[in-house]
Structure formats: structure tokens, C-alpha cells
Structure 1
């Protein structure tokens, strides 16, 4: 997740300008941009949850399809043994990749949390030191 991107679900000058321009050009565009600003992070987690639900549902289909072929023997014992070993190896590889993806997702969540914490701490230091903050500009 690149949080230095110009357009991200946050109140940045670029997203505010796009929202205002969207309302001027065609109001649903402005409304869509406002929804993205407010709910963009939640949409990412919603998409991940939806994808994992569909993946779990499709995994049942794959298992049934695999079990159908597992019972279908070709008559060549060496080939059938090799095929079963390869399918088991591929399944193990898939499991490892899924674990790695989960670890990476957890790492990115922690990275985002740490960045948020650092930004909050910096804000509190500036506020405590009487530095210019958003409230002081009002």
C-alpha cells in the first residue's frame, strides 16, 4: 500500500479538488469521490473479505473436481503415482503461498498502524509545543 500516492482514500488537496470538480462537472462523480475519501479503506477490506469468501466457496468445487480425478485411474500405476505426488506438491505450494500472503497482509496492516501512530505522535508534539496545527489555522 503506497500511502505517498496522490490519490488515496484520505483528505488530501488532490482528492478534495477532484471531489469539488466532480460536483461541478457531474454531481454523481463528486459523490463517488466523497464516498471514496470516506470509505476507501473499508472498501479494500470489503473486497478482501468478499474475495476470500468466494475463494472458500470455490475451494469446495476444486476439491470435488480433484477428488473426481483422483478416483479416475489411467491404468498406468507409475503415472498415477506421479500425478498424485505432483498434485500434493502443488497443493502444499498453494498453502505456502496463501500463508505468505496472509503474513504480508498482516505486515502491511502493522506498517500502516505504525505510520498512523507516528503521524499522531508528531501532531501531539507539535500541538504541545504550540506549533501550527489545523486548529490554529482557524
Structure 2
């Protein structure tokens, strides 16, 4: 005999926890830290709970508390059409050119790093060879 249960209706408004989390996210990491400190001041288990939640949800070590904002999401909103075809073409061409310039600059920086690393390595090897020659000359003289 199976018992039929009615599905729980989905609520259109989030619970108090989700609202509090969203409110703290909108205020930034400082609000989370302030809430944690106040939790420790008034009742230490609450502060500890805030600390564990911040570590578990990766809010403690991220640059921003808001998980909704990212570079790719911002880029997606930029790439949306404005309705003006001339402006959209200009914007697309400008973004393409900027991305190309960024790629060229990053490759230039990579070549610069490689050249610096090679110069430092060559200097190290020259110093090592000089030291080996000095040690060999000192060994022959003795």
C-alpha cells in the first residue's frame, strides 16, 4: 500500500535565509565580516556559524562576495544588440580590435618574460662556468 503525498508548492518569494544572504552579498565582503564579528560578540556559536558558512561558500577568500558578477556575464550583456545596426557594427569591430590588441600585448609580455628568463639563465650559467674554472685553477695550483 503506497501513500500518495501532494508535492510541496514552490513559493515565489525566497526564504529569510536567502533574503539575508542576498542582502549581505549586495553590501559586500565587509558586511559578511561585520555580521560574523557581531555574531561572535553577542553569541559566539553564531559567529562561528558565520565563519564556517563564509569558508564553505568561498565568500571568505574570493575578491567579491557576489557570485552573480563575472567577466563573461558582463561581456554577454555588452554583446547584446542595441537595435542600431551601425552602432552594433562599430561596437563589434571595436571589441574585436581591442581583443586583438590585448592578445598582441599578452604575447609581447610573454616574449619579454622569456627573454628576461633566458638572460638570467645565461648569466647564471656564465657565473657557474667562471666558478668552475676558478675551482679547477685553484686545484691545479695546489
Question: Which TM class, normalised by the smaller chain length?
Answer: 0.3 to 0.5
Q: Which structure carries more helix by proportion?
A: 1
TM-score in terms of structure 1 length:
0.48
Structure number with bigger Rg: 2
TM-score in terms of structure 2 length:
0.47
